[in-house]
Amino acid sequence: MSTEVVVDRAAFRRSLRHELEAIRGRWIWLVILGIAMVVFGTAAIAAPFIASLATAFTLGVLLLLGGGTQLVGAFWTRDWSGFFLVLLMGVLYIVVGLLFLNRPVEALEAMTLLLACGLMIGGLFRAIGSISYQFPQWGWIFVSGLVELALGVMIWMQWPYASFWVVGLFVGIDMVFSGWTWIMLGLRLKHLGSHIGHHHPPRESVPPPAQA
């Protein structure tokens, strides 16, 4: 059993190294992508209301595209037994997308309310679960659950006024962290390329000539 695990880990490492080698020459584009995400994320944090509206419009457009795709797929497979279900989903996507585009402020209020409820429920379950099972390092999970619960309560208490900044702020923070992740990955790939470039393969030993 242990031999199989070692073999699987070795195969996974070889596969991962092969994938990294495939994108090693494009590390600069990863860094550029990361810098752009950090810049846009910082702008979203500085102007959370504009970022929130942009998020609502983006979700509306994506919902419209998804609904149109669902409708096209439903009519292509109209002989399928789930035709009406797919058709209903497509119509629902389009209606919600139109609501997002026509009423972005109300859409932000709904999104913020759902976010607050999700944070409160998730934080409560995380805190209760950590106390119930008390697995190793359960204290950190308990504290993170309390922080998540408190954050959800704060957003709930400030709703609907929190709708003007919560979504944009969260999107901006996520973009900043994701951007730095891409930057670190690109720089790591650059370092990997220079390390491989300076690593010369061992020379083959030439046997000495046979003496007569």
Contact 101, 138 (CB under 8 A): no
pLDDT digits (tens, 9 = 90+) for 80-110: 767 788 888 888 999 989 988 998 888 888 8
Cβ atoms 116, 156 nearer than 8 A? yes
pLDDT at 151 > cutoff 70: yes
The residue assigned the tokens 């910082």 is 42
- What mean pLDDT is predicted for residues 43-58? 89
Alpha-carbon torsion 173, 175, 181, 186, what sign?
negative
∠ CA 120-123-129, rounded to 5°: 135
Instruction: Decide: 86 and 56 in contact? Cβ < 8 Å.
Output: no
**Distance (Å, rounded) from C-alpha 148 to C-alpha 128?**
13
Contact predicate 100/57, CB 8 Å: yes
pLDDT per residue as tens digits for the range 107-135: 888 888 888 898 899 888 888 888 887 77
pTM score: 0.65
Question: How many other CB atoms sit within 10 Å of the CB of residue 171?
Answer: 20
